[in-house]
Amino acid sequence: MTTDKLTAVELFSGIGGFRLGLVGADIDTIWANDINKLCCQVYESNFGKNSITLGDINQISISEIPNHDILTAGFPCQPFSPAGKKLGVRDIVRGTLFERIVEILDQKQPQYFLLENVKRLLTMENGYHFRFILNALSELDYFIEWRLISPINFGIPQNRDRIFIFGTKLNYPDKTIPINLEKLSVFLTDNDGILSVNDDELKNDMSPIIEVKSKNYNWGIAYKNNMYTQHLPSLLDIKPRQRLKDILQDESIVDSQFYFTADTLERIKQSKPVNRYCNGVEILYNQDGGARLGYTIFGINGIASTLTASTSRHYERYKIGDNFRRLTNVEYARLMGFPDDWCRVTRIYDQYALFGNAIVPTCVEWVCNRIGKQNFKLSKSNWQQLSLAI
């Protein structure tokens, strides 16, 4: 039986956020890998036995990876995250796993790739780490585009900006290539008002990646070791926005293990009222009166702060009605866009880290549904057939 469906390979799969998003975009995942046994258990419980290969991707022969149309990878973010040691590409344990992605792309030559990482990757050490990654990818004959995307725009109330990097194989024989940006871009929309420069200005502004010293903005393109970047407005909402209180479980079914009411009432006697919002997160109390200092109590009228794998973050206090509790594992699932029972085969304690390390499936679905269907209209007619001399 033949099929027109795109096929995908998923690296650093975690609990399958990429795959779940690809299902929504009607793309078949034919091979997946992760080194974490618990992640693989969750993955198989949702996608079936033998749906994922457990092991170190550096120890798996590339010949074992089937040919595919799109490579996806949420490569380890800890080297770039504010919550980690921030060693970036110098992290010999995790940062250099990116090199394995490059090797697989080079040997397997899929038509597309989609990578995801933390927002900090754009700015760490004045953008050096991002440009290092961009330069390596741009040597492989892929037209590359990136953009910051937030689940807030998809009706998920969590402050979780992530950088998505999309590549399209071009294989042009010379260095001067005609690029129809309308057909290649998966991230630009009719509402972006793109761009504030004309053809000649863009040609002049395309710079060798290794020479760029300025800021990496929230959107940009790259090809053959050259790049252009510009700040764009946030995406318009794809789905109506929600607040944290909109996704909470009914209090009548929340188990007593999640509550800290008596302990918290004593602690807030020494805390200061804050009653303000920080990046959309409602903060009611903390010890020092600042935004996020000391013992903090959050409200539910804003959004949730970024979920992480950090154990301490799992026990943050939220004031819900007259009680104080942490968010439940089910609420973590909802804040990541997963079904309530996605991690049902694991302990509640472990589910927090699993969700905190995951990717939001609906963001992946939105990007992948646009592959091959790009038809937005540039705001200036002289951008409709764009030649980049690079």
Which residues are annotated as catalytic?
77
Q: Largest Cα–Cα distance of the chain, in whole Å?
A: 70
Q: Answer whether 111's CB lies under 8 Å from 166's CB.
A: no
User: What own/partner pairs with CB < 8 Å and gap ≥ 24 does 273-279 have?
Assistant: 277/302, 279/159, 279/305
Residue that has been written with the tokens 């020479």 in this structure: 211
For 200, residues 6+ apart whose C-beta sits below 8 A from its C-beta are none
Q: Answer whether 158's CB lies under 8 Å from 306's CB.
A: yes
Q: Answer whether 193's CB lies under 8 Å from 114's CB.
A: no
Q: For residue 169, give the nearest of 374, 372, 373, 376 by alpha carbon.
A: 372
Alpha-carbon dihedral sign for residues 131, 132, 135, 136: negative
